Structure 1
Amino acid sequence: MLKIIIVDDDALIRDSLTLILEMEADFQVVGTAANGQEAVALCGSAQPDLVLMDVRMPVMDGVLGTRRIREQYPATKVVILTTFKDEAYIKEALKHGASGYILKSQPAESIVETLRAVARGNTVLEAQVASSLTHMIREGKKMSQTDLELTDREMAVLEMVAEGHSNREIAEKLYLSEGTVRNYITVLLDKLSLRDRTQLAIFYLKHF
């Protein structure tokens, strides 16, 4: 059962999303909040697996809310849900550990599948958002595998993380165990001085 918190300053949206998600047998909405500050506090008591977070809210916006949640409750994943295709918000939310960024205009079934994908360990971006993000971050300085002292296998794992594959999918494609893939990701995070797989994905798109 995937435990979810819904965060939005619009009560109608909170109620609508709650109805949609609770129709799924594998979802349980364990709380709702009207801003990032309430969401952080609620994570302490409800211990959700995933937070569905709006961006523009009073008191504390979704970007800062994401940062606080990821710092205090690293096991909790955050998916940003918004009407705004704002590059600055996309960049900041992902930098602070969001695992996905989708638009409220998407069909309900698409939102549901995104949440399931994030729960499996993938990073999911709505198509228009992904296009914008890729264009934005590919402007960074290019690097080579040699510059970073990465092995061929480490490079293959990094590339697949950037493509949004879960550890299980990487293991199957590279004929490794999931434990070995986790070890490679730990080594990559250490070598590149990064915090999580979302930052690995952004690093790859920016520098390769």
Structure 2
Amino acid sequence: MRIAIVDDEKLICEGLKIIFQSYPDIEVIATGSNGNDALKICEEKNPELLLMDIRMPECNGVEATKKIKKSFSDIKILILTTFNDTEYIQKALQYGASGYLLKDSSPDVIYDGIKAAISGNIVINPEVAKTMLFENHEEAEERLIRPLSEIQDEFGLSQKEIEIIRLVSEGLSNKQIAYKQGLSEGTIKNNISVIFDKTFVSDRTQLAAFAFKNGIV
């Protein structure tokens, strides 16, 4: 896995580089300190994934995500963030980021997130997502409690499709969902395509955001 790390805090950037160079299946091909560096790295190095801070000078992670995904749609972007960056996170996801990781996550959690994103899955912290989509915890909890029949009627989703949406929102791959559902991976892929059509989304990140917003998870 060829990754690049972009963070304006040099100690964090170099620390992450040292950590992930110790993983045999990760190659850190470049580092940078702002969004302009990130764009240049994509142009010159073509990494599989960018691990990028969201608050940076000159060009922040949100603007960088917008520019990069417009020109390099295949490059995955994982945002490094804190609980206080919810507005930035939401915009980055809208522009095509594959998800976000908290800066205080363990190296193994970040490593798992990198693998998941490169495999085409989403990386979302549920508690941050609640904060991002609702003004307070009480409202989030109220919205999360919705009868299954209400969700089915509103969106025309079957019980099986709702369960698949919940598993996608947890970041599970098609293979993992297939195992849990006792179905083939191809069947799950077809089901997710139908779900995309019903929910008017085009990828797994948008589906997860849809699920949080509409009280499915």
TM range (shorter): 0.7 to 0.9
Alignment correspondent of 2:2: 3
Report if aligned partners of 2:99, 2:205 keep a CA contact under 8 Å in 1.
Answer: no
> In the TM superposition, what are the counterparts of 1:47-66 in structure 2 within 5 Å?
47-66=46-65
> In the TM superposition, what are the counterparts of 1:94-173 in structure 2 within 5 Å?
94-126=93-125, 129-130=128-129, 132-133=131-132, 135-136=134-135, 138=140, 144-173=151-180
- Any gaps of 5 or more consecutive residues in structure 1? none
1:41 & 1:128 partners in 2: Cα distance?
33
| Structure 1 residue 18: Cα displacement | 1.1
1:181 & 1:66 partners in 2: Cα distance?
29
Report if aligned partners of 1:8, 1:54 keep a CA contact under 8 Å in 2.
Answer: yes
2:187 is the alignment partner of 1:180: yes
| Structure 1 residue 45: Cα displacement | 3.0
2:195 is the alignment partner of 1:196: no
2:71 & 2:87 partners in 1: Cα distance?
23
User: What is the total number of aligned residue pairs between the two structures?
Assistant: 207
Q: Deviations over 1:127-163 (max 9, x none)?
A: 6534533655948797622222223433332221122
SS in 1 for 2:202: coil
CA RMSD of aligned residues (A): 2.7
Q: Deviations over 1:42-61 (max 9, x none)?
A: 22332222110111112211
1:23 & 1:39 partners in 2: Cα distance?
23
- Shifted more, 49-58 versus 154-163: the winner is 154-163
Report if aligned partners of 1:5, 1:52 keep a CA contact under 8 Å in 2.
Answer: yes
2:186 & 2:68 partners in 1: Cα distance?
26
- Shifted more, 138-147 versus 4-13: the winner is 138-147
1:130 & 1:147 partners in 2: Cα distance?
22
Q: Deviations over 1:1-27 (max 9, x none)?
A: x11011112333222211111110010
Compared CA separation, residues 178 and 71, structure 1 to 2 (3 A): farther
1:58 & 1:44 partners in 2: Cα distance?
20
| Structure 1 residue 184: Cα displacement | 2.2
Report if aligned partners of 1:101, 1:129 keep a CA contact under 8 Å in 2.
Answer: no
- Please, what TM-score do these two structures have when normalized by structure 2? 0.81
